[in-house]
Amino acid sequence: MEVVIVPDAKAAGELIAEAMAQLLRRKPDALLGVATGSTPLPIYEALAAQVDAGAVDASKARIAQLDEYVGLPTGHPESYRATVLRQVVDPLGLSEAAFMGPDGSAADVQAACEAYDSALVEAGGVDLQLLGIGTDGHIGFNEPCSSLASRTRIKTLTEQTIADNARFFDGDLSQVPRHVITQGIGTILEARHLVLLATGEGKADAVAATVEGPVASVVPASALQLHPHATVVVDEAAASKLKLADYFRHTYANKPEWQGL
């Protein structure tokens, strides 16, 4: 995988937004896989700014969701569907018709998982999948020891992830759903380009294990090592435990500009 170390979250957002803009110039109806959490917000802000400035036309873009809580009432503001509509779909000037995601309130959740997995394939596959990373190394909601071949399915959150996400539920652990739907690791690996962004010191251990550790299901993000086009963008704090940081800096500094991300 390629590791790109940038000074801060704003620079990361601009770099990845530019990669998304370049994709949309090549393929206007690209299927963009988006992630929730705080980390990708600078990307969405930078991409919306490019659209507002007329630097890129996103009017034909399609947006696919990575994961979802199970059991929140439809329209709950912290459902990932509502979050992605608010943070990505609306700011890009798209309508809900451009959006696809798993149905976390379905009566038959397992069937909803399988339907979403198939829908991604029928839509032609994800062109660029954005990923954040949990402090325990999860991607989407694939918690440690998820099968590296897994498909979209129901998962149970770890205590760590429940605690990490309680901030979106007024800090009340009891309000955080225990179950989720997530694209599986096998599903995620089918996207044509994976871009994982991690910022802040709290992600440094997970980033080091992802990039320099062995491929192991106990660190789900390490599966990116199996993908032919995976880019890991980190700020200095998140890069602070990488032994090969200087090599990654040297490689990126000497990369021909036309190669992009």
Q: Which residues bind ligand GLP (CB under 6 A)?
A: 35-39, 66-67, 132-134, 140-141, 161
Q: How far is the CB of 238 from ligand GLP (least distance, A)?
A: 10
- Among candidate residues 68, 103, 127, 143, the one labeled active-site is 143
The distance of closest approach from Cβ of residue 56 to ligand GLP in the complex, given in angstroms and rounded to an integer, is 24
Give the integer Cα–Cα distance in Å for 186 and 174: 31
Contact assessment for residue 87 and residue 44, using Cβ atoms and an 8 Å cutoff: yes
Q: Please tell me the chain's helix, strand, coil percentages from 3-state DSSP, rounded to the nearest 5.
A: 40, 20, 40
- Report yes or no: 80 and 177 within 8 Å, Cβ to Cβ: no
Closest C-alpha among 174, 170, 176, 189 to residue 228: 189
138: annotated active-site residue? yes
The catalytic residue among 14, 67, 68, 103 is 67
Is 67 known to be catalytic? yes
Q: Where are the beta strands (DSSP E) in the chain?
A: 2-6, 31-34, 62-65, 67-69, 99-100, 128-131, 153-156, 179-182, 193-198, 230-235
Reading the block at residue 180, the tokens are 């989720």
Which residue among the candidates 136, 164, 193, 235 is catalytic per the annotation? Answer: 136
Residue 18 falls in the annotated catalytic set: no
Please state the closest distance from residue 188 (CB atom) to ligand GLP, in A. Answer: 10
Residue 102 or residue 132: which is nearer to ligand GLP going by CB?
Answer: 132
The nearer residue to ligand GLP, 5 or 66, going by C-beta atoms, is 66
Shortest spacing between CB 53 and ligand GLP, in angstroms:
26
Is the CB of 56 or the CB of 239 nearer to ligand GLP?
A: 239
C-beta of 192 vs 203, nearer to ligand GLP: 203
Alpha helices by DSSP H, listed for 27-174, are 41-52, 80-84, 109-122, 159-165
What residues are annotated to the active site?
Answer: 67, 136, 138, 143
